[in-house]
Structure 1
């Protein structure tokens, strides 16, 4: 049975981890993704990559930001405000995970 610990959350979503299987669950808006640690890092890297490519253009035009997933028929769409909250959630979560790893090694 899963026992969850919250890694991080904000007004749009949260990242939790099962203490038993170590899977991560990223809940954001109406979407929940179940990810391994490596998948979470790849997803976070992809979000950062897209963010750095489109930061100013989508802010000015107010167009949706689209993110293709590993599943060929699924694309995620975000408003600029949602996108910023997702970036913030992932960045802070990675920091929290990194800090936990450092503390665990001490």
Structure 2
């Protein structure tokens, strides 16, 4: 990756809805990109389900941070503050319903 190797500052590549990437070849190419990218390259991959990417080496080398649903879940008080910050007032019962298992 000679073009990326010359980077002086970190460059972030953010990909959302990665679960929509169905091509096995495209997933293989993404895996190669992740494994061979220079240290200045950063990736944020957002997906609704785990993909079959060979990221085990990055995990073992502590080069991978994974944030799962439990790490993103707000407490009721955090959710209330978030909605209030947006100018939305919800009753306690409505706020509690936003956190039911089928909604998480």
Higher relative contact order, structure no. (Cα contacts within 8 Å, ≥ 6 residues apart) = 2
Question: TM bucket by the smaller chain?
Answer: under 0.3
TM-score w.r.t. the length of structure 1 is: 0.23
**Which structure dedicates a bigger proportion of its chain to strand?**
1
TM-score w.r.t. the length of structure 2 is: 0.23
